[in-house]
Structure 1
């Protein structure tokens, strides 16, 4: 996996202790880019430290409603997040940072570390090493079903898309981009993150979209045809 100027190919390339940025409703996937607007002092400090180090942070959601403490190694965080490398960085002049994170691989939280004097949190993690291999078989993805559900969502909400760009996009980029930009809630975003492979993620996204459309319109079947 190439992220910015850094290659992540073996276990030695991936840190096992990382600062974590809890952000509800945010989704970062391996190989994708996520823009962030940082303004809280503790997270400004975290990104300062990351920029002075390996530029890697863990993006993770706060624990979802319905989780019990027993299910989570850290009570108020989801079990799985995604490592990101800071690939671009800018200062706004009013105390904010504008950051772009490049997705490296997903990780599972093992335990929270003693923060010491740091104002932010850090965790010991176990990375999903399979995410470093970009050879996920996109041919197994039902691209037509994915595009049909995307088109139905746009039609139902009176939205438009640049279909020339959509058609040119690789299947992997399409699945991950649509997953990240989808307007769904934290639970749905977590399900997309935790999908076993690209095919499962695409199927999950289609299913979530179908449920949303069916809930909002009795004419969903007609819209899809």
Structure 2
């Protein structure tokens, strides 16, 4: 499929989750306007560097504009709902101010779940991580989340660097993503308390 992309370092989106975005740059305002006129789809993907037109990582997530607000000065506040992960086949030469790629969708395994032991181990590590960060968490609500919503949700919002977030997005299944999250939280627990980001680099 042909996909307009929003390269944004540190921001990842997972299927069935939501990502709010404030769109102010003219090229991305044009991208949102184009998406609203067509299929409402935007590909969220991380660039591999912060320089202009940096190469892209291989994997991103297609999001559908589920909600949009437009201000008088032409800015957008949108909410994307994740549809499917995708893999970049190639970047397309375009005349639009925003970048576009040819992409293939990645089918995630059906009915993924963790064992009771894996779930308990993850929640234990997550509680330690949250306490260390000073996060106030409603653990009763967390316990009611299904495994996919829990693991993907934490992966999306965790304060890890771009390489770590990308590794989480590219994990082939829920169990491997859960294992990686636990490793990252354990690593952070052993790190410098003055550092506020985890790195895989």
Q: TM-score, normalised by structure 1?
A: 0.79
Q: Which residue of 2 aligns with 1:121?
A: 99
Structure 1, gaps ≥5 residues long: 1-15, 66-73, 218-225
Superposed CA offset, 1:23-51 (max 9, x none):
00001011111111111000000000001
**CA distance in 1 between partners of 2:124 and 2:98 (Å):** 42
Q: Which residue of 1 aligns with 2:144?
A: 168
Q: Which residue of 1 aligns with 2:184?
A: 208
The one of 80, 100, 107 aligned to 2:79: 100
Q: Which residue of 2 aligns with 1:45?
A: 30
Q: Which residue of 1 aligns with 2:65?
A: 86
Shift of 1:216: 3.3
**CA distance in 2 between partners of 1:170 and 1:205 (Å):** 16
Q: Which residue of 1 aligns with 2:172?
A: 196
**CA distance in 2 between partners of 1:108 and 1:93 (Å):** 36
SS in structure 2 opposite 1:115?
Answer: coil
Q: TM-score, normalised by structure 2?
A: 0.88
Compute the RMSD of aligned alpha carbons.
1.8
Residues 136 and 197, structure 1, Cα contact 8 Å, conserved in 2? no
Shift of 1:151: 0.5
Q: Which residue of 2 aligns with 1:31?
A: 16
Superposed CA offset, 1:68-107 (max 9, x none):
xxxxxx9611111111111111123343211111111111
**CA distance in 2 between partners of 1:208 and 1:100 (Å):** 28
Shift of 1:181: 0.9
Shift of 1:113: 1.1
Shift of 1:144: 1.1
- 4+ residue stretches of structure 1 with deviation over 6 A? none
**CA distance in 1 between partners of 2:171 and 2:65 (Å):** 24
Structure 2, gaps ≥5 residues long: 194-201
Identify which range, 165-174 or 208-217, moves more after superposition.
208-217
Structure 1 residues 198 and 64, CA, compared in 2 at 3 Å: closer, same or farther?
A: farther
